[in-house]
Amino acid sequence: MVRNKRSKQKDKYWRVPDQALLGVVLALLITGLAAVSSASAVLSFERFGHSNYYFFRQLIFVAIGLGLLFVVSRVDYHLWKKFAGWILISGVIALILVAIPSLGFKSGGTRAWFNLGPFLLQPSEFGKLALVIYLASWFDRKEGAETNFWFGIVPPLLVVLGLTGLVLIEPDLGTAIVYGIVASVMFFAAGARYKYLIGLGAVACGALWLLVLAAPYRIARITTFLHPEQDPQGSGYHIMQALIAIGSGGLWGYGFGASRQKHNYLPESIGDSIFAVMAEELGFIRIVLVVLLFLGFAFIGLRIARRAPDRFGQLCAVGLTAWVVFQAIVNMGAISNLLPLTGITLPFISYGGSSLLSVCIAAGVMLNISRQQV
């Protein structure tokens, strides 16, 4: 009897993971490789003398990411709950250290990376994972406390504020917004009362507005969002070039590799703006398929959450899904001028090791939760 119980307990860790999620992740990774290959060709040739430098680096990141995904998908997700506190502390320490001028690497006015020689490590990307695991652990251990503001909401809220504050020091408002969105979704999923959520949402909107007013470049972004055509060679240059790329694509696009905006017109063509290059080459009909992949990720992630065997698994799946999907929405919305421009990557697709590896780990956790679903 005991042996059969142990056998069943062991077998659930080796069940086949959610094939639909794995398929969506692989499709996004392949799409990202193709997009980086095309979008980076001109930049690679100008800087390194051949057109595949960034593609090969991204290919290495994808290989490492898939390796991490496979390993993490085999690790019982309950292990993350045991080390949630240490994971959070590690994330906080990393965000503090990266703010120190002698340790953190600065680019584009933001000090958000560690320069490790062959590559740059961005702690705020892995901080999202730490935030999700910690909040899932907190609400699992304090089940029922989420209805009490002072004992169930304030302690995890202070953690969220601490992490977002450290990210704002860099400064990286876009990533801080993603932290806030993910935390809000998890508070809601945990069962926090609506009056708490509405009140905190109002305070957050007020704080966001003050942050915008406190920095002239953020005010310029809002002005640019409303009227990008007023300064097409200055503050509106980035978004105007992105809109030209998206509009030029039409229904079917110029075709793979035929983007014109990637020829030093569109800033960050392999990073934050890669969606515009994809829209230019693929056109509206085919770029919708990429959007549908993220919608599929959302649907599958919520299905995994609903079937998770316990509260910790449910909240982890919800938080990780919210992270990937809302970051994609913010990125695509910003580059399409549906939202103010923010400097965050498109998950699984934009060039960059930290972003890619962190979302691959997140997908691995979700796959392990799906192995144990009921």
pLDDT 10s digits, 6-19: 444 455 555 778 89
Q: What is the mean pLDDT of the chain?
A: 91
Separation of alpha carbons 141 and 121, rounded Å: 32
In this predicted structure, what is the pLDDT of residue 17? Answer: 82
In this predicted structure, what is the pLDDT of residue 144? Answer: 84
Contact 220, 168 (CB under 8 A): no
Contact 120, 354 (CB under 8 A): yes
Number of residues written out for the chain: 374
**DSSP letter, residue 111:** E
Write down the pTM of the prediction: 0.93
pLDDT 10s digits, 242-270: 999 999 999 999 999 889 999 989 999 99
Separation of alpha carbons 163 and 246, rounded Å: 34
In this predicted structure, what is the pLDDT of residue 215? Answer: 76
Residue 149, Cβ density class (10 Å: 0-12 exposed, 13-18 middle, ≥19 buried):
middle
Query: Which positions of the chain have pLDDT values less than 70?
Result: 1-14
